[in-house]
Amino acid sequence: MIGRLMTMTAHPGKGDQLAGVLLRVAESLHGFPGCEIYLISQDTADPDTVHVTEVWRDEASAQAALAAPPHADGPDPADVLALLSSSPHRTDLTVLGGVGLPTVGGQP
């Protein structure tokens, strides 16, 4: 399994709007093959900072989600980009396990 932490900063006062668009992205990924977790969080101290925590079965699943056309009622990537004041920061992770995840590498 792989993971990603994405940190995004919205234009001033647009954090709630950014979080809302990302929650719509999360809804569109419900049931997407290989998507284990797609969690949207807003920074309590700075509501214009929004975090996305992703867990994917493998890199191919994550890439397939990026390549998939947006749902007719879902947001377009341009909708997210228009709300950002700077480029997102991405941290790649090796997922070891935890509550809510299937068994990883033979570990509970």
Asked, for residue 103, whether it belongs to a domain, the answer is no
Asked, for residue 65, whether it belongs to a domain, the answer is yes
Q: Would you state the structure tokens that stand for residue 63, as one six-digit string?
A: 């890439």
List the domain range (segments joined by +) for residue 68: 2-94
Provide the domain count of the chain.
Answer: 1
Asked, for residue 8, whether it belongs to a domain, the answer is yes
Residue 34 pLDDT > 70:
yes
Query: What's the whole-model pTM score?
Result: 0.88
Asked, for residue 102, whether it belongs to a domain, the answer is no
Residue 50 pLDDT > 90:
yes
Asked, for residue 105, whether it belongs to a domain, the answer is no
Contact 51, 4 (CB under 8 A): no
The predicted structure's pLDDT at residue 42? 98
**Each residue's pLDDT tens digit, 76-99:** 788 899 999 999 999 999 999 888
CA distance 86 to 62: 23
The predicted structure's pLDDT at residue 38? 95
CB environment 29-59: b (16+ within 10 A), e (fewer): beeeebbbbbebebeeeeebbbbbebbbeee
Asked, for residue 85, whether it belongs to a domain, the answer is yes
For residue 18, give the CATH number of its domain: 3.30.70.100
